[in-house]
Chain A
Amino acid sequence: MKTILAVDDSATMREMVAFVLESAGYRVIEAEDGAQGLDRATASSVDLVITDQNMPNMDGLTLVRSLRELRDYKNVPILLLTTESSDTMKAQGRAAGATGWLVKPFDPATLLEVVQKVLR
Chain B
Amino acid sequence: MNQTQAGPAEANDAEQAADLLVTVASTLNERLAVTARELARSQAMLREASEELMTAFRGAADRIVAAQREDVADHGGKNQQYGPVLDHLYRAVQHLQSHDLVNQLIDAQKLRVDKMREKLLEALSLASPPIAEGAQAGQWIERSRAMLDCIVAGIAQIDADGRLPRSDAKHAGSVDLF
Contacts and interface: CB of A to CB of B under 8 A. Distances in A.
Query: Real complex partners, A and B?
Result: yes
Interface of A: 10, 12-13, 15-16, 19-20, 22-23, 25, 54, 56, 83-86, 90, 93-94, 98-110, 114, 117-118
A100 B93 contact: no
Interface stretch (B11-19, B119-127, B170-178): B170-178
A85 B171 CA distance: 6
B167 interface: yes
Interface in B84-103: 86, 89-90, 93-94, 96-101
B97 A16 contact: yes
A63 B100 CA distance: 23
B93 A16 contact: yes
A109 B90 CA distance: 8
Interface in B133-178: 162-163, 165-168, 170-178
Given A19-B61, A102-B175, A105-B172, A13 B166 contact: no
Size bin of chain B's contact surface: 35 or more
Contact of B177 (A16, A54, A117): A117
B167 to A, nearest CB: 7
Interface of B: 50, 54, 58, 61, 64-65, 68, 72, 78, 82, 86, 89-90, 93-94, 96-101, 104, 162-163, 165-168, 170-178
A10 B104 contact: yes
Contact of A54 (B97, B162, B172, B175): B162
B94 A100 contact: no
B172 to A, nearest CB: 6
20 contacts: A10-B104, A12-B96, A12-B97, A15-B58, A16-B97, A19-B93, A22-B65, A23-B65, A23-B68, A83-B166, A86-B166, A93-B178, A94-B178, A99-B177, A101-B175, A102-B175, A108-B94, A109-B90, A110-B173, A110-B175
